[in-house]
A = this chain, B = another copy of it.
Amino acid sequence: MKEIKNHLEVNNNEKSNSLESELFRPIQENINIQDFKVLVDSVEAHKYKDAARAFIRTNPKFKENFIGLDMSSYRQLVLEQCEEFAKSGLVHFTDIKQNIFRYAGIVEMLALFNNNICTKLGVHFTLFGGTIMFLGTERHQKYIEDANTLKTVGCFSMTEIGHGSNVRGIETTAHYDPSTKEFIINSPTPTSQKFWIGGSYLHATYTTVFANLIIKGVNHGVHAFVVTLRDKNGNVLPKITIKDCGHKLGLNGIDNGQLKFDHVRIPRENLLNKYSDVTEDGTYKSQFSSPIKNFAATMAPFIAGRMAITKGCSGALKTSLAIAIDFSYVRKQFGPTLENEQPLITLSSQQRRLMAPLARTILFDLYVQRLTRELAQPKQPISIHAHCSGIKAIYSWHCVQNLQVCREACGGQGYRSANRIAEFKNDCDIICTYEGDNTVLMQQLAKYLLALPESKVQQPTIYLDGDDAKSLLFNFENIKRLFDQREQMRLKELKQIISNSKESSYNAFNNAIPWSVKLGYAHMNKIVFDHAITTLKENNVKPLAHLIMLDSLVTIEEDLGWFVTNHLISSNVAKAIPFLIQDLCSEVTKVSRQILESFDIPENCKAPSKDLISDLF
């Protein structure tokens, strides 16, 4: 690859009124907590969120112990919590289509408390609800009323055990029988069993089933159907077998099941016929010219689920960071003398490991607000699928990595279930691989980027070099150019690796997956940053500039080898980065408790006490 060496002289010392100017001064220690709260909560959702907070604070079901509960009792408790919440009217079954701000907002708030609840509600509202609302028509409105208050629970039978992320490969069939005007839902092989179906083992009345629609031997591809699983007494209907998926690393409040259908007959009208339908006599009619297009349209609504999942990460991480930071302020260990032990928060390592994820979590949340706005538009941008996939992947990896950091930052007390981080960590872990394995999602994003028309605008290249590294780096325009250029070069690099391969196109792409993931990160880092800067320009709430700069430098440091070897940053500038990060962590620490206050986390979401040792003799 030809090296790019276009040295630019950049000097920004004099930007005294710029967005960056405050970075050069000690941090303003009194931030406006209310303004910052609205920023993080979003203009569209903050009132819904406050209502959800009030509910969590006061509802008795949210005060019951769930630590160490056996699986059966835990599942019952989570069901009851979900029912209480659904009955509160704070969320509606139609929200996934009609008020995504409310829906996303309440999921985030429930995730501050416990991911089982938002996962169970997510299956019902986003997945079952999404299928009904987006793929159904007038004839499926009848499900809404009872589903709205969880009088009936719905689940979502897409994944098969033999076909995880590769939904097109599912084997379940729906043969149409014109003589009775019914579809026959069948699991033809062991690998066609629906697996991991949340809510199915104990509670669901209905499920939407994804199956190959077959008429007179012709397979029209994957379509969605409503199947009733249980009668009014909760008994599983004949020809349907449901088994418990068993104990899991986390989310043991969710009754995941495996489902087998043995020629289950359902009425013709149970086909969700928004895009394609079958007439009584068995004629297939579709808005699309091919099964693959119908498949794409059928899958499209669920992209909102990938956005919603990030809310689970956001809630869990904010509460866990709050627990760890609170603990770091009260827990003392070591000091200049044996008698003068200091709080952990005074340690540079503790500041480094907690402030960087705090900053990133806020930036990710701001970006998800943007995605939610895009999803709320009648015509969504073409990028929406790639970006929901990308943020789901990078947010869940960020979440799992930093829940671990929070656990370790609290030492042994972080290991005790009563102190909550353990549960968050285990519950969130699955997010990395469900709703699309993260590595697969990053490949989808890379494929989207590879397919974009090449920009004809030749961007000027950037090379950050000079003695005053701080001024060069504390400059959002320079950061933007670094991120833009990295994305362009990573894209070009991936294209070259694939085109230089002597193997089949399938193998060429496969051999380059690690580079696809790198490109995915380069793209997502860039757009998260761009949106943060847009937000900052509209609304310079303190300490947003500090958080953006901290996260930017951490992002650069994570890929520092690349930035330097590709001559975007000089050695001299690169060497300054760890020191600037440490300084920024120290500054952000000063306002960290105010940031936590702006999260307005109900006390019953957190550990019983800030020192995590409420239960001494």
Contacts and interface: CB of A to CB of B under 8 A. Distances in A.
Given A333-B166, A514-B348, A432 B408 contact: yes
Contacts of A559: 561
B407 A429 contact: yes
A517 interface: yes
A450 interface: no
Contacts of A3: 571
Contacts of A515: 578
Interface string A171-210: 0000000000000000000110101100000000000000
Contact of A193 (B338, B408, B432, B616): B616
Interface stretch (A17-25, A147-155, A433-441): A433-441
Given A334-B166, A510-B347, A510-B348, A433 B415 contact: yes
Interface string A66-103: 01101100000000000000000000000000000000
A562 B563 CA distance: 11
A404 interface: yes
Interface in A310-336: 333-336
A418 interface: yes
Nearest to A432: B408
Contacts of A258: 616-617
Given A412-B434, A561-B563, A616-B258, A165 B333 contact: yes
Nearest to A569: B565
Contacts of A164: 333, 411-412
Contact of A617 (B190, B338, B422): B190
A260 B617 CA distance: 8
Given A336-B504, A513-B349, A417 B248 contact: yes
Interface in A371-427: 400, 404, 407-408, 411-412, 414-418, 422, 425-426
Nearest to A161: B613
A241 interface: yes
Contacts of A165: 333-334, 411
A554 to B, nearest CB: 12
A502 to B, nearest CB: 14
Contacts of A333: 163-166
A346 interface: yes
A1 interface: yes
B408 A248 contact: no
A582 interface: yes
A338 B222 CA distance: 13
B426 A249 contact: yes
A338 B171 CA distance: 12
A68 B168 contact: no
Contacts of A195: 412, 613
A248 B415 contact: yes
Contacts of A578: 514-515
Nearest to A557: B561
Contacts of A249: 407, 415-417, 422, 425-426
A447 interface: no
Interface in A557-582: 557, 559-567, 571, 574-575, 578, 582
A411 B426 contact: no
A557 B558 CA distance: 11
A230 to B, nearest CB: 18
A7 interface: no
A574 B248 CA distance: 42
Contacts of A234: none
A246 B346 contact: no
Given A560-B565, A561-B560, A408 B422 contact: no
Contacts of A243: 615, 617
Given A190-B616, A567-B571, A247 B417 contact: yes
12 contacts: A1-B575, A168-B338, A246-B417, A247-B417, A249-B416, A335-B506, A336-B507, A347-B513, A511-B582, A514-B578, A559-B561, A566-B575
Which 6 A-B pairs give the minimum distances between C-beta atoms?
A560-B561, A68-B247, A249-B422, A349-B513, A336-B506, A247-B417
Interface of A: 1, 3, 67-68, 70-71, 159, 161, 163-166, 168-169, 190-191, 193, 195-196, 241, 243, 245-250, 258, 260, 333-336, 338, 341, 346-349, 352, 400, 404, 407-408, 411-412, 414-418, 422, 425-426, 429-430, 432-434, 437-440, 504, 506-507, 510-515, 517, 557, 559-567, 571, 574-575, 578, 582, 613, 615-617
Given A348-B511, A349-B514, A404-B404, 14 more contacts: A1-B575, A68-B71, A163-B333, A164-B412, A166-B334, A169-B338, A245-B416, A246-B615, A347-B513, A400-B404, A411-B433, A559-B561, A560-B565, A561-B563
